[in-house]
């Protein structure tokens, strides 16, 4: 009886709505908006990279090797202008962060995720670690200043030599510690419960279960998180300024692997970039030098990130 | 078993990745090459060459390049002396100096009584004050602006001081000046040039007028001197101020003569060195003489600082060297260790 109630007009309309190619206008619009978000991000990044790369050619294009070997100088036209001292500082800061923050951070995450009971106290601790990850980096610089330079607690300044690469590295290790704990914690949480139950099922102790199942499974995630936090540490300038990184001139230029210079005055790549950018008001050539230092820092970070990605892919393949 | 191998692998792999990064950047452990520039001898070159030690300098970012350039020239004379220079600002520099953390404090003004008391209270009593260079501040307009040649301190106060707030033409700010749009460009508050300009030009007049010693707030401030120059170039009737060394090399700008009460004086190297050009300031270093008595490297460095090398260094980094007599006085003050009291 229905067909009778529906007149010819509405029948035609229904037929049209079924046969017509449907255009989901709003869906399309949404997709375009999302695409433009991505495009804006990429465009900004591209503009940044292109301008920095173009600016840097004055230094990197003509005297790459000298620039990598050179030191902080008063004039941008100086033949021995370069970033060797900054690379020494940044390299050792990275190493100190890796040696200190990674084991402690991953250890704390293992405890929080696998051992600690779920109660108000641990929830409180976790919330606080998350808050610590959001604390401005300058505050960590002040902590480093009080702890490692002024020796207000434990007299640690005698160990670090005051204003030194060691102090800078320890300060930044403290800075990334919460980030390492959080990202490692997430990685442990992503390990399927079945793996743990399976290990217990064949009689493994908790330690054996963590060692043979949880850690290997979580390794790629941990690796990604920790290396991203390392990239953050290498790019930080503000805490290092408080720890006394030198902006003007550093008398010594130690070899890259000269451990003996770790407790001497130091500088780092982000500090050099800041300083040279400020100097470009007086001596325009420093703008090109700052751009070149940015390129070197970017390469440094990209190499670390690609190492992380390669390692992660390896682990994931093995995990199968 | 495959899993446990993974576990063992990842930490060493991490370390290997670092050494790869390091190795790729590495391989240049040799001593830095010395600059082939000529250096002024101090007469005791043989003795100086064998000196070793460390000298720590902090303070004004304006004076910083001079101390660095002197250190670079000194490196050829005494390669074993390690000179570290930092430039957080004159005030911060004195804090470090008075805490005994630095041997020399760079300063773009003389030490304040409060800072001196701080030093004395910390047992740093033997301080030698040395004038090392002169910095002029150039007041500029666009090169095509023929209507203005010379400005008095009063006119500068009207144009740039707090009473000028809200005025949009030269005539409106200061009667007698052309009726043309006033586009103002200058350094921001963080700049040493900003402070100096207030101290030299505005402070006294602001005191007389009973207003705060500062600039008007409605101008385009920039920490980058290039941006200020670009601003001056962009408007036919612009007005702005930057360090003389920077302005003298800029194109498209006209440096105005300034009347500080004794007639119009154009900014040149000579008029600034003689303090004849009124908008100029002296640059100083403060040496801890106690530290010098215990540190031959510091003595050698300051000996070299006050030698002929100073004029070369000052010129090379863009400031105005001291006139002969003033230079001789600086050297004399150091060699006789004339202390501030």
Selected residues 210-239 of chain B with any CB under 8 Å from a CB in chain A: 223-226
Residue B282's DSSP bridge partners are: B134
Residue A62 within any structural domain of the chain? no
DSSP helix/strand/coil, B278: coil
B164 touches B173 (CB < 8 A): yes
- What crossing angle do the helices spanning B2-25 and A215-235 adopt, rounded to 10°? 20
* β-pair type (B183-187, B220-222): parallel
B25, pLDDT greater than 60: no
Residue A119 within any structural domain of the chain? yes
Q: What is the DSSP string of B61-84?
A: TTTHHHHHHHHHHHHHH-TTEEEE
B225, pLDDT greater than 90: no
What's phi and psi for B56, nearest 5 deg? -110, 125
**DSSP H helical ranges for A70-164:** 84-110, 120-133, 137-144, 157-160
What confidence score (pLDDT) does residue A193 get? 92
CATH homologous superfamily of B135-280 equals: Periplasmic binding protein-like II (3.40.190.10)
- The Cα–Cα gap between A276 and A83 comes to 11
CATH class of the domain defined by B51-134+282-335: alpha beta
Among candidates A251, A255, A279 on the partner chain, residue whose Cβ is nearest the Cβ of B83: A251
Q: Which residue on chain A is closest to B33 by alpha carbon?
A: A80
Among the ranges A227-231, B1-5, B125-129, which has the highest mean pLDDT value?
A: B125-129
Selected residues 214-243 of chain A with any CB under 8 Å from a CB in chain B: 215-217, 219, 223
B15, pLDDT greater than 70: no
Per-residue pLDDT tens digits for A138-154: 999 999 988 888 876 77
B317 touches B69 (CB < 8 A): yes
Number of other residues whose CB lies within 10 A of the CB of residue B189: 12
What confidence score (pLDDT) does residue B298 get? 95
Q: Which residue on chain B is closest to A78 by alpha carbon?
A: B35
A162: left (phi over 0), alpha (psi -120 to 50) or beta: left
Smallest CA-to-CA distance from B126 within B295, B315, B320, B305 is with: B295
B124 touches B231 (CB < 8 A): no
Q: Which residue on chain A is closest to B190 by alpha carbon?
A: A278
What confidence score (pLDDT) does residue B3 get? 46
Smallest CA-to-CA distance from A266 within A255, A252, A284 is with: A252
A208 touches A69 (CB < 8 A): no
DSSP A152: -
DSSP B37: -
* Nearest-5° Cα angle at B7, B6 to B12: 90
* β-pair type (B257-259, B150-152): parallel
Domain residue ranges of chain B, discontinuous segments joined by +? 51-134+282-335, 135-280
> Global pTM?
0.77
- Domains identified in chain A, total number: 1
Per-residue pLDDT tens digits for B191-210: 667 878 888 899 889 988 88
Q: Which residue on chain B is closest to A271 by alpha carbon?
A: B86
Per-residue pLDDT tens digits for B83-117: 999 888 888 899 999 999 899 999 988 898 999 99
Q: A219–B10: do the CB atoms touch at under 8 Å?
A: yes
Residue A249's DSSP bridge partners are: B85
Would an 8 Å CB–CB cutoff place B64 in contact with chain A? Answer: yes
What's phi and psi for B47, nearest 5 deg? -65, -45
Among candidates A216, A247, A256 on the partner chain, residue whose Cβ is nearest the Cβ of B29: A256
In chain A, where do the E strands start and end? none
Q: What is the CA radius of gyration of chain B?
A: 25
Would an 8 Å CB–CB cutoff place A280 in contact with chain B? Answer: yes
Mean pLDDT per block of 10 residues along chain A (320 residues) reads: 63 76 84 95 94 89 90 88 94 94 94 91 93 93 88 75 90 95 94 92 92 90 88 92 89 86 91 87 82 94 86 77
What confidence score (pLDDT) does residue A139 get? 94
Residue A305 within any structural domain of the chain? yes
In this prediction, residue B157 has a pLDDT band, given cuts at 50, 70 and 90, of very high
Mean pLDDT score of chain B = 83
Would an 8 Å CB–CB cutoff place B12 in contact with chain A? Answer: no
- The Cα–Cα gap between B213 and B152 comes to 17
What confidence score (pLDDT) does residue B82 get? 92
- The Cα–Cα gap between B171 and B21 comes to 63
What confidence score (pLDDT) does residue B38 get? 36
Q: A219–B7: do the CB atoms touch at under 8 Å?
A: yes
Residue A224 within any structural domain of the chain? yes
- The Cα–Cα gap between B73 and B87 comes to 19
Q: What is the DSSP string of B141-184?
A: EETT--S-SEEEHHHHHHHHSGGGTT--BHHHHSTTS-SSB-EE
What confidence score (pLDDT) does residue A320 get? 55
> What is chain A's length?
320
Interface size, chain A vs chain B, as Cβ–Cβ contacts under 8 Å: 148
Lowest mean pLDDT among A105-114, B224-233, B286-295: B224-233
- The Cα–Cα gap between B274 and B332 comes to 19
Among candidates A95, A244, A258 on the partner chain, residue whose Cβ is nearest the Cβ of B18: A95
Q: How far apart, in Å, are the Cα atoms of A79 and each of A74, A120, B314?
A: 11, 62, 19
* Nearest-5° Cα angle at A277, B79 to A138: 95
Q: Which residue on chain A is closest to B64 by alpha carbon?
A: A248
**Edge-to-edge strand list for the sheet holding B257-259:** B150-152, B257-259, B264-265
Give me the sign of the Cα torsion angle B313, B318, B324, B330.
negative
Smallest CA-to-CA distance from B25 within A248, A296, A23, A38 is with: A296
DSSP A308: H
B140 touches B254 (CB < 8 A): yes
B6, pLDDT greater than 90: no
Per-residue pLDDT tens digits for A5-63: 567 777 777 777 777 777 788 889 999 999 999 999 999 999 999 999 998 988 888 88
B307, pLDDT greater than 70: yes
Selected residues 75-94 of chain A with any CB under 8 Å from a CB in chain B: 75, 78-80, 84, 87, 91, 94
* Nearest-5° Cα angle at B263, B257 to B268: 40
Give Cα A153 distance to the centre of its chain: 29
What confidence score (pLDDT) does residue B193 get? 78
What confidence score (pLDDT) does residue B70 get? 95
What confidence score (pLDDT) does residue B192 get? 66
DSSP helix/strand/coil, A264: coil
Q: A73–B72: do the CB atoms touch at under 8 Å?
A: yes
Domains B51-134+282-335 and B135-280 share a fold: yes
* CB half-sphere exposure, B284, CA atoms < 13 A: 21
What confidence score (pLDDT) does residue B264 get? 93
Mutate to test the interface with A, among B2, B65, B95 (most CBs of A within 10 A): B65
Q: A246–B84: do the CB atoms touch at under 8 Å?
A: yes
A72 vs B contacts (CB less than 8 Å): 68
Per-residue pLDDT tens digits for B28-40: 333 333 333 333 3
Q: What is the dihedral of CA B30, B36, B39, B45, to 10 degrees?
A: 50
Q: B4–A98: do the CB atoms touch at under 8 Å?
A: no
Question: Can you give the CATH number for the domain in which A275 is found?
Answer: 1.10.3720.10
Give me the sign of the Cα torsion angle B298, B303, B306, B310.
negative
A249 vs B contacts (CB less than 8 Å): 67-68, 71-72, 83-85
- The Cα–Cα gap between B84 and B104 comes to 10
Query: How far is it between the farthest Cα atoms of chain B?
Result: 92
Number of other residues whose CB lies within 10 A of the CB of residue A77: 11
What confidence score (pLDDT) does residue A161 get? 80
The residue that leads in pLDDT, B304 or B7, is: B304
Would an 8 Å CB–CB cutoff place B46 in contact with chain A? Answer: no
A303 vs B contacts (CB less than 8 Å): 20-21, 24
Q: Which helix (H) or strand (E) holds A81?
A: none
A67 touches A293 (CB < 8 A): no
Q: What is the DSSP string of B219-274?
A: SEEES-HHHHHHHHHH-TTEEEEEEHHHHTT-SSEEEPEEESSS-EE---HHHHHT
The residue that leads in pLDDT, A314 or B238, is: B238
Q: A75–B69: do the CB atoms touch at under 8 Å?
A: yes
B330 touches B306 (CB < 8 A): yes
Q: What share of chain B is helix, strand, coil (3-state, %, to 5)?
A: 45, 20, 35
DSSP helix/strand/coil, A307: helix
Could you tell me the two tokens for B275? 């303090």
Q: B65–A91: do the CB atoms touch at under 8 Å?
A: no
- The Cα–Cα gap between B73 and B204 comes to 40
Would an 8 Å CB–CB cutoff place A263 in contact with chain B? Answer: no
Would an 8 Å CB–CB cutoff place B26 in contact with chain A? Answer: yes
B26, pLDDT greater than 70: no
* β-pair type (B183-187, B238-243): parallel
Give Cα A248 distance to the centre of its chain: 27
A307 vs B contacts (CB less than 8 Å): 17, 20-21
Would an 8 Å CB–CB cutoff place A73 in contact with chain B? Answer: yes
Q: Which domain holds residue A297?
A: 84-319
Residue A107 within any structural domain of the chain? yes
Would an 8 Å CB–CB cutoff place B262 in contact with chain A? Answer: no
User: Nearest C-alpha of chain A: how many angstroms from B172?
Assistant: 32
């Amino acid at each position: 009886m229905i067909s009778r109630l529906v007149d010819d007009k509405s029948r035609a309309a229904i037929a049209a709505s079924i046969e017509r190619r449907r255009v989901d206008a709003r869906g399309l619009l949404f997709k375009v908006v999302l695409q433009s978000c991505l495009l804006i991000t990429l465009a900004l990044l591209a503009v940044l990279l292109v301008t920095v790369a173009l600016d840097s050619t004055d230094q990197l294009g003509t005297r790459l090797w000298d620039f990598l070997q050179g030191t902080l100088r008063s004039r941008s036209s100086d033949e021995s202008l370069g970033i060797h001292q900054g690379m020494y500082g940044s390299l050792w800061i990275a190493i100190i962060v890796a040696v200190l923050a990674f084991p402690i951070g991953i250890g704390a995450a293992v405890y929080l995720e696998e051992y600690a009971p779920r109660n108000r106290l641990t929830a409180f601790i976790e919330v606080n670690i998350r808050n610590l990850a959001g604390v401005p980096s300058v505050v960590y610089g002040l902590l480093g200043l009080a702890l490692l330079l002024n020796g207000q607690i434990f007299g640690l300044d005698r160990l670090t030599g005051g204003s030194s690469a060691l102090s800078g590295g320890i300060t930044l290790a403290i800075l990334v510690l919460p980030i390492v704990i959080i990202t490692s914690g997430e990685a442990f949480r992503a390990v399927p419960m079945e793996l743990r139950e399976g290990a217990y099922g064949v009689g493994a102790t908790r330690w054996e279960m963590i060692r043979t199942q949880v850690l290997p499974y979580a390794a790629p995630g941990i690796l990604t998180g920790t290396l991203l936090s390392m990239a953050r540490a290498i790019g930080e300038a503000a805490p290092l300024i408080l720890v006394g990184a030198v902006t003007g001139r550093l008398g010594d230029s130690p070899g890259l692997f000269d451990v003996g210079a770790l407790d001497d005055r130091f500088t780092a790549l982000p500090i050099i970039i800041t300083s040279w950018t400020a100097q470009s008001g007086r001596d325009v050539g420093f703008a090109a030098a700052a751009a070149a230092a940015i390129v070197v820092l970017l390469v440094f970070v990209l190499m670390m990130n690609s190492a992380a990605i390669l390692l992660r892919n390896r682990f994931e393949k093995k995990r199968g | 078993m495959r899993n446990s191998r993974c576990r063992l692998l990842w930490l060493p792999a991490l370390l290997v990745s670092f050494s790869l990064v390091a190795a790729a950047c590495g391989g240049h452990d040799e001593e830095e090459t010395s600059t082939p520039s000529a250096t002024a001898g101090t007469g005791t070159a043989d003795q100086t060459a064998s000196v070793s030690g460390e000298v720590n300098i902090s303070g004004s970012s304006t004076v910083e390049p001079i101390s660095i350039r002197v250190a670079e020239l000194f490196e050829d004379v005494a390669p074993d002396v390690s000179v570290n220079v930092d430039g957080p600002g004159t005030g911060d520099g004195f804090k470090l100096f008075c805490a005994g953390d630095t041997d020399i404090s760079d300063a773009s003004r003389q030490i304040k009584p409060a800072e001196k008391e701080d030093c004395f209270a910390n047992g740093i009593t033997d301080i030698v004050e040395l004038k090392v260079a002169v910095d002029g501040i150039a007041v500029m307009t666009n090169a095509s602006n023929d209507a203005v040649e010379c400005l008095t301190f009063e006119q500068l106060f009207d144009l740039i001081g707090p009473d000028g707030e809200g005025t949009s033409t030269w005539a409106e700010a200061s009667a007698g000046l052309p009726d043309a749009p006033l586009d103002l460009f200058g350094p921001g508050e963080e700049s040493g040039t900003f402070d100096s300009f207030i101290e030299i030009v505005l402070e006294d007049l602001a005191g007389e007028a009973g207003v705060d010693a500062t600039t008007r707030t409605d101008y385009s401030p920039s920490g980058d001197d290039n941006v200020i120059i670009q601003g001056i170039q962009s408007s036919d009737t612009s007005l702005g101020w930057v360090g003389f060394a920077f302005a003298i090399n800029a194109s498209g700008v006209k440096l105005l003569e300034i009347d500080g009460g004794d007639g119009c004086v154009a900014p040149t190297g000579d008029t600034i060195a003689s303090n004849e050009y009124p908008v100029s300031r002296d640059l100083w270093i403060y040496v801890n003489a106690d530290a010098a008595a215990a540190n031959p490297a510091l003595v050698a460095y300051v000996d070299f600082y006050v030698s002929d090398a100073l004029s070369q260094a000052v010129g090379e980094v863009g400031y105005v060297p001291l006139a002969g007599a003033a230079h001789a006085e600086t050297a004399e003050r150091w060699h006789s260790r004339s202390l501030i009291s």
